[in-house]
Structure 1
């Protein structure tokens, strides 16, 4: 990727503050919920990249019982300004009553990758 002089003016700290990762799990139930969510986030420019990790397992309490669920984890790379839009969309499509939606702040990153996310989504 070639960076133009204008792009070089974007401060690395601004790119770090602007970039977030959202973690979400969906059930591994062969309904392709994970693909639908990922493709829509990308198509609508709500995320630059969604990494899909199959065959994860979660153990948790739900309704006073220990549950075990085979799941698929989505790692969503996006901008902080799009966080609530991503949450809102996933909540409308997610089969869980309370979906796992966690935001991780970036402390550092490869400058060209952060710039790619910024340019794609802004």
Structure 2
């Protein structure tokens, strides 16, 4: 059964390599700032940077967390990331299954 859940968030960020995305994702999960990190390699990004249009192949990282972890997750991501200005976009989740919500909450709990 699906339930509205204003606490669940998905954070989007990109990394310059699969290795960097894996390192960031693993660290954030180990530190209970994200319950899950899903890596999608091979995304093509086109963006403005220092007055030029750049193109690059990156790895998209989807981080599943709760609203009360966002500030700490953001601070830690900035410390771990090689980019000068890493992407940090937070998406609200309209609904989630009860089982997933319970799993996420347990995953974020410090052991």
Alignment of 1:113 onto 2:100: yes
- Return 5+ residue gaps in structure 1 as ranges: 1-11
- Return 5+ residue gaps in structure 2 as ranges: none
- Using structure 2 for the length normalisation, give the TM-score: 0.90
Say which structure is richer in strand.
2
Moved segments of 4+, more than 6 Å: none
Provide the alpha-carbon RMSD of the alignment: 1.3
Alignment of 1:77 onto 2:64: yes
> Could you tell me how far apart the structure 2 residues matched to 1:90 and 1:120 are?
18
Paired residue for 1:35, among 22, 47, 63?
22
> Could you tell me how far apart the structure 1 residues matched to 2:81 and 2:27 are?
13
> Could you tell me how far apart the structure 2 residues matched to 1:55 and 1:63 are?
23
- Using structure 1 for the length normalisation, give the TM-score: 0.82
Alignment of 1:24 onto 2:8: no
Question: Larger C-alpha radius of gyration, 1 or 2?
Answer: 1
> Could you tell me how far apart the structure 1 residues matched to 2:79 and 2:106 are?
27
Alignment of 1:63 onto 2:50: yes
